[in-house]
Structure 1
Amino acid sequence: MAPSGLLVTGASFAAFRGMHWGLQLLPTPRSAAQDRWKWRNTCVSLVHSLLTGTGALLGLSLYPQMAADPIHGHPPWALVLVAISVGYFLADGADMLWNQTLGQAWELLCHHLVVVSCLSTAILSSHYVGFSVVSLLLELNSVCLHLRELLLLSRQVPSLAFTVASWSTLATLALFRLVPLGWMSLWLIRQHHQVPPALVVLGGTGLVTVGTMSVILGVRILVSDVLQSQPHSPIPGHKETRNTRTCCDGEPVLRDDPTLSLKD
């Protein structure tokens, strides 16, 4: 199954890179003109999150065996879903390296490296696919994160849409990010005897990394969107192109949002 999984990963990488380039031909909202690349990058991320997040939720609903047996129980299409996600993270990493300095992108690049390493295990071995599909539930929260980010970039703050996006982000962060991460952590602890030590270390590292970033993300959004009444600016971990730098520290002329970007 590895060759077909790698083929799907390559096709996914090409498709998402093509989407990045294709969006350059479309107009960017005038309100987001200061950071056209960020707008395009977030739109592509939203497409990935909608595709894999809803796919994971629907798949687990139709095939609960993936959660009952995360190592062996999965239908063929589940591996395709995981491979699509790996292709996206590789494409997004390439897009960041092309449009940002390493100093700006290192945090998300480290996150992408951990995620790709974990998901690639399922593609190469055809095992742990169910476990990987459960992890893709996190993308349902990322849908809200990306919508919130697009509203920030288009300066739709304050607005009813942004308020709904903020509360939806916090609610889905708890339901579709922290709950799955907690379930995966408990499963790995209880079933560690069935998993090779190297994969226990890899999986544990991934869960700790993403879990820590998720908690920080939730706290920062809670503080910036709920506890503070100040105006907001472009989202978490704002990523800018080389053409948007206007200040001595490399940041564009936009107020900082204290949250960070997280693409799972």
Structure 2
Amino acid sequence: MAPSGLLVTGASFAAFRGLHWGLQLLPTPGSAAQDRWKWRNICVSLVHSLLTGVGALLGLSLYPQMAADPIHGHPPWALVLVAISVGYFLADGADMLWNQTLGQAWELLCHHLVVVSCLSSAILSGHYVGFSVVSLLLELNSTCLHLRKLLLLSRQAPSLAFSVTSWATLATLALFRLVPLGWMSLWLIRQHHQVPIALVILGGTGLVTVGATSITLGVRILVSDVLRSRPRPPIPEHKETKGIRTCCDGEPVTRDDSTLSLKD
């Protein structure tokens, strides 16, 4: 299993690096002109999330044995899906190191290192592939996260498209991120006796790290996109001066509190 898995991983790395370079030839939306690299990077991430997230969902629907027996039960193509994902994370890490300083990228690089370590154990051993495919369901939520970031970069917030994407992000975060993380954590606790201690520690570390990050991310999006975007109740003012204040020289100055400042 290892040679073919490593070959697919190498091919995936080359393909995603090629996609990074190829996007440099395409025009960037004018509103995102100052963040061309970030726009390209998120577009590549979106391609990976769509490919692996939809692939994992279809794979588990067609071959539920992967969830029933996450250690041994998997078809050959499942290993290919996992290897493609490892190749992407390696390519994305290389892209960040090339275009950002270590201080800017260290948080995501640590995330990528944990993910690559966990998924690579399945490629090298040929086991736990079903478990890895379940973890790729998280990419369905990542698809919405990437779309949300692209809308922010293109200055499409607030808008109907951004609101729909925000709610879809929160819904998929609960369904395709927190639920799979909870299932994997429960499975690892129940089956720890048949899993090598090194993999229990590695898997547990990864689940705790991604779980904490996911909860924090969900709270941030809920606050910034939902709670802060609610219209504020009007403040009672005197009938003659509502919405107007007078500056020191006596000139009327109109106030407008409708502007929202959204931060990702």
TM-score (norm 2): 0.87
Q: Which runs of 4+ in 1 moved over 6 A?
A: none
Cα distance in 2 between the residues matched to 1:197 and 1:186: 16
Aligned residue for 1:25, secondary structure, equals: coil
CA distance in 1, matches of 2:155, 2:219: 22
CA distance in 1, matches of 2:164, 2:194: 43
Map residues 175-194 of structure 1 onto 2, 5 A cutoff. Answer: 175-194=175-194
CA-to-aligned-CA distance 1:125-174 (integer Å, 9 cap, x gap) = 00000000000000000000000010000001111000000000000000
AA paired with 2:58?
A: L
| Structure 1 residues 30-50: Cα deviation after superposition (integer angstroms, max 9, x where no partner) | 011010000000000000000
Q: State the superposition RMSD in angstroms.
A: 1.0
What does 1:12-51 align with in structure 2 at a 5 Å threshold?
Answer: 12-51=12-51
Specify the alignment match of 2:64 in structure 1. Answer: 64
Q: Deviations over 1:99-122 (max 9, x none)?
A: 000000000000000000000000
* Counterpart secondary structure, 2:182: helix
User: In the alignment, which residue of structure 2 is the partner of 1:237?
Assistant: none
1-structure distance, mates of 2:68, 2:85? 22
Query: Counterpart amino acid of 1:205?
Result: T
- Secondary structure at the residue paired with 2:24? helix
Q: Which amino acid aligns with 2:143?
A: V
What residue number does 2:83 align with? 83
Give, in whole Å, the separation in 2 of the partners of 1:227 and 1:97: 35
Pairing of 1:100-249 with structure 2 (within 5 A): 100-229=100-229
The answer for unaligned runs of 5 or more in structure 1 is 231-254, 260-264
Report sequence identity in percent. 90
8 Å contact from structure 2 (residues 56, 136) kept in 1:
yes
CA positional deviation for 1:256:
7.0
CA deviations on 1:187-235 (whole Å, 9 max, x unpaired) are: 00000001000000000000000000000000000010011139xxxxx
Q: CA separation in 2, counterparts of 1:8 and 1:107?
A: 27
Separation in 2, partners of 1:133, 1:85: 10
User: Per-residue deviation at 1:68?
Assistant: 0.1
Aligned length: 234
SS at match of 1:41: helix
Structure whose CA Rg is larger: 2
SS at match of 1:169: helix
Aligned partner of 1:11: which letter? A
In 2, distance between residues paired with 1:207 and 1:220?
Answer: 20
TM-score, normalisation: structure 1: 0.87
Distance 2:15 2:103 in 1: 27
